Amino acid sequence: MGMISNMIAVVTRDTRMEGLKQRWGTSNQADFLLDAAVQHEVERRRKSKARKGIAVSDEDIDQFADSAIALTDRESYEQEDAQYNRSLKQLFRELDLGFPIREVDRSFLANFDFGRCLAVVVIGQDGLVANAAKYVGDLPVIGVNPDPARYDGLLLPFQVREARAAMQRVINQRARYAKITLAEVNTITGQRMLAFNDFFVGCRSHASARYMLDANGTREAQSSSGVLISTGAGATGWMSSVFNMAAGVSRFVSGNDVPALSIARDERKLMWAVREPFVSRHSSAQNVMGILHEQDELVLGSQMPTQGVIFSDGVEDDFIEFNSGNIATFSVSQQQVKLVVG
């Protein structure tokens, strides 16, 4: 039998409630443990008031319970799970266009053969689009927002009821696309990884990362809490925290803000920054930020005997070991994401 072609891949991920079920076995067990957490917190607050000699009324108990429920976020878990599953069922109906549909869980992205697909539909949060886009090559990506009231959906331009028309435009070659730049890393050990938002290079523990940094021919031994390499898509994410910290320190010291630097999602450039560089006899901090244009490279040589890692887009379980003797080269990737926008 020949290999199925022209299928539609639908990328999904477990909701937080599904994660609880996997952790605790069943829905009932998850409910029991969340209830127990609420009761423990209510009792803790009651005892705390009692030790201070403060009388606790029934109204106080109700307020304690409301606060504890908010802390566990139980209602949100249940509502989110129900809405996601309703949206997923509707999405499969909308995509019934005569092509086979294959659901791909996020955990199987790296192993799924997307070469058999004509398009990839992602239903989830923005982060799921980022995770999926690295594996699909030049296939069209249709981002579907399953819960517009809960998710911003910057990478999810379509609601579920719009997915059918979006897929038809792809099939009929009438879709409009936004091209999104990816970052790429290659190591001397032969490993390659892409990043939609950013790469992190550092130590798996809270120990300092040690490495040699080479940017534009300028080499420097550094010790820091890691290096971020960001695309334009990621400039408003993790990288923005670097500017937030720099601006806060600058305001405290001099009363002046540090303006944030940003690049557009389709610009063929990357931004990199060293997090919390430490200056010592063995390390310096002269070269802690820069821009990589299309032909530029940022090269890092690990000086960490163990625990060195490179991971992309916050997925810590999918990483490249980056220990002593390994050298990693970061650059703008030739591969781009084709995000359907109309």
**Other beta carbons within 10 Å of 192:** 10
Residues 6+ apart with CB under 8 A from 1: none
Secondary structure E strands in 196-258 = 198-203, 209-215, 218-224, 227-230
Please report the pLDDT score of residue 25 as a whole number.
Answer: 66
- pLDDT for 57: 82
pTM metric for this prediction: 0.81
CA proximity to 209, closest of 76, 305, 73: 305
List C-alpha distances in Å: 65 to 38, 57, 58, 59, 71: 7, 13, 11, 10, 10
Q: What is the pLDDT of residue 55?
A: 82
CB 199 within 8 A of CB 312: yes
Go through 232-244 and write b for each residue having 16 or more CB atoms within 10 A of its CB, e for each that does not.
bbbbebbbeebbe
DSSP summary character for residue 11: E
* pLDDT, tens digit only, all 342 positions of the chain: 445 568 999 999 988 777 776 766 666 676 667 677 777 777 777 778 778 888 878 787 777 676 766 666 666 777 888 899 999 999 999 999 999 999 999 989 989 999 989 999 999 988 899 999 999 999 999 999 999 998 888 899 999 999 999 999 999 999 999 999 999 999 999 999 999 999 999 998 878 999 999 998 889 999 999 999 999 999 988 898 888 888 888 899 998 888 888 899 999 999 999 999 999 988 988 899 999 999 999 999 999 999 999 999 887 777 899 999 999 999 999 999 999 999
How much of the chain is helix, strand and coil, in % rounded to 5?
Answer: 35, 30, 35
Tokens 């009388």 belong to residue: 55
In contact, 146 and 87? CB cutoff 8 Å: yes
What whole-number distance in Å separates Cα of residue 145 and Cα of residue 152? 9
The reported pLDDT for the residue numbered 86 is 95
